[in-house]
Amino acid sequence: MKKILVIHGPNLHLLGKRQPAIYGKTTLKQINAELLKIAKRRKVALTIKQTNVEGEIVNLITKNKHRYQGLLINPAAYTHTSVAIRDAIVASGIPTVEVHLSNIYMREEFRQKSLISGVAKGTVLGFGPKSYILGLEALIDII
Ligand code: DQA
């Protein structure tokens, strides 16, 4: 069975309570439950992690490069700043799909740049929790 690593970046543990006008009222637990349903239906195994720490994301990606065949990641605020996460994705060679709840290109200028998109197989953004669902389906299709 193919294995996929799902990483939720900083502040995403607050989903549901955090700026609901932008990020919606769905909690991370609810998003994860939906992802696990898809995984069951599509017969893939998911490992789901949330961390607020950039280096932990780098470790998760690089230390597990032989364990997982795909990476679904919402790098959250690190999207816009993290050369380290971008480099980790390249170094691991794990096919990666980047997701965002909000459409970062409709938001503040500092969010309108992703350092991750250029090394991801694809990016899904702007559809709220559905971005994760579409992203996971697409990732399963390509691996
Ligand atoms: C986000 C967008 C980022 O700009 C922001 O820092 C987040 C969430 C999104 O899913 O829309 O924390 O990645």
Catalytic residue among 23, 68, 78, 132: 23
Q: What is the distance in A from the centroid of ligand 1 to the CA of 100?
A: 6
Which percentage of the chain shows pLDDT scores above 70?
Answer: 100
CB 70 within 8 A of CB 96: yes
| Residue 6's CATH number | 3.40.50.9100
List pLDDT tens digits, range 79-126: 999 999 999 999 999 999 999 999 999 999 999 999 999 999 999 999
Which residue range forms the structural domain that includes residue 58?
2-142
Q: Which of 8, 68, 78, 100 is catalytic?
A: 100
How many domains does the chain fold into?
1
Chain centroid to CA 128: 12
Name the residue at shortest CA distance from atom 13 of ligand 1. Answer: 76
